[in-house]
Amino acid sequence: MPKLTAQYVRDLPLSDAGQVLVVDDTLPGFGVRVGATSKSYFAEGRVKGRTRRVTLGRADTLTLNAARKLAIKALAEMADGKDRNAELKLQRAKLMTLAQAVQGWLAERPLRASTAATYLATMQREFGDWFDMELRRITPKVFQARFSEILGRTPAGAALAVRTFKSCWSWARADVTDRDGMPVLPECPANIVKAKKMMPKAKRKQSFVSDWAAFFAALDHVETHSNRHPDAGDMFRAYAELLARTGMRLAEAAHLRWSDVDMDAKTFTIPAERAKNGEALTLPMSSQTFALFEGLKERTEGQLYIWGSRPYGDPRKTLIAFREVLGWPVQFHDLRRSFATIATDLDVQQSKIMRLLNHSTAGNVTLGYQVSKNPETLRQSVQMISDYIDAQRADLKT
């Protein structure tokens, strides 16, 4: 090991690849690190049995004598058990911004791209002006003022904003800890909303189709009076009826592919990557649903999706026309709600309803035991639901 001198350090060639450590033979633990573009002085010692290396400064801005003095101080601190690198890391962690917390949470959560985009959009919309703010500066008082402002605009949006903010904060609090693993950040400032009972109780939507004759009459109208492309009315009718007879979620039905459909077994599958709960689901077709698939097959067989070359898009104009004819502002999710309501009215077993809707049973051990993944166990139920819709449609016509 050479004795480091100012001239020796200046003459050291830069490294072709990686880093080279040159240690001083007069001060153990002191040396110069040579990289591809620069040289830096360092001090290396042990803290609680672990090797720690502290950068003292660049050799082109720090004199050798000054570097030695800094090294002596750093080595003494390490001998006393002080981990300067850990302290620097902790200080940097304390400066974490809301944007860093959001990105960190989204990066580590196994979310679908669309779900992650929704959460990010929520945070940007409601807290975008806080993104460069350090988390420790967001106090309960500050959060309460922002929550009140959001609540005045949209109660539902306020609830989503609080949930998403708390998730990001919880991730950051678990990520930013001291050397003993204890959180550095305080409790989430959004907790003040619950503590003060500021969140209004969510009102569960009760809207569902009660007049199936009017529903199908409106479908008949848009099927023949659509002013969009020639197949717009036909496709809208098939989409709406498929939702009503299967209880599928909008995106699940819109992205259904022919490879997901088994016409011989009269079943269709929602793959895990497209299911909201991440669990694949194979469902039987009622005879009416099978007829829907047959009609779609005549139009789009050989193409990727049951709707054609791409997923079913946003039928906003056709939906507006459908609502005008129907006489009330129906939402597509109302059809899923109607499906579940009919199943309940027909005394379909609760575990089967949860399976038909692809709801998770993870929180209910008993229901989990009752759920069978065999689609044939659900065939009678889906047929009863479709027959009920047709019976109501016929009764209301007469």
CATH says 212-397 is which class?
mainly alpha
pLDDT above 80: residue 364 = no
pLDDT above 80: residue 111 = no
**186-200 pLDDT per residue, tens:** 899 999 999 999 987
**58-76 pLDDT per residue, tens:** 898 889 999 999 999 999 9
pLDDT of residue 197: 92
Single-letter amino acid, residue 208: F
The domains of the chain are located at 6-82, 98-195, 212-397
pLDDT above 80: residue 204 = no
**288-319 pLDDT per residue, tens:** 999 999 999 999 999 999 999 999 998 888 89
pLDDT of residue 366: 46
**Range in 78-92, 156-170, 291-305 the model is least confident about:** 78-92
Q: Cα separation of 332 and 208, whole Å? A: 10
Q: How confident is the model at residue 171 (pLDDT cuts 50, 70, 90)?
A: very high
Name the burial class of residue 192, with classes exposed (0-12), middle (13-18) and buried (19+) by CB atoms within 10 angstroms of its CB: middle
pLDDT of residue 304: 96
CA-to-CA dists, residue 198 to 38, 164, 188, angstroms: 56, 17, 15
Q: How confident is the model at residue 185 (pLDDT cuts 50, 70, 90)?
A: confident
**Higher-scoring residue by pLDDT: 111, 8:** 8
Q: How confident is the model at residue 36 (pLDDT cuts 50, 70, 90)?
A: confident
- Compute the mean pLDDT over every residue in the chain, rounded to the nearest whole number: 88
pLDDT above 90: residue 227 = no
Backbone angles phi, psi at 19, to 5 degrees: -125, 145
**Higher-scoring residue by pLDDT: 17, 210:** 210
pLDDT above 70: residue 206 = no
3-state percent breakdown (helix, strand, coil) of the chain, nearest 5 = 55, 10, 35
Q: Are 192 and 143 in contact (CB under 8 A)?
A: yes
Q: Cα separation of 294 and 307, whole Å? A: 12
Instruction: List CB contacts of 313: < 8 A, sequence separation 6 or more.
Output: 254
pLDDT above 60: residue 396 = no
Q: Cα separation of 322 and 217, whole Å? A: 10
Task: Determine the CATH number of domain 6-82.
Answer: 3.30.160.390
pLDDT of residue 326: 86
Span 98-195 CATH architecture: Orthogonal Bundle (1.10)
pLDDT above 80: residue 271 = yes
Q: How confident is the model at residue 89 (pLDDT cuts 50, 70, 90)?
A: low
Name the burial class of residue 339, with classes exposed (0-12), middle (13-18) and buried (19+) by CB atoms within 10 angstroms of its CB: buried
pLDDT of residue 312: 94
pLDDT of residue 365: 46
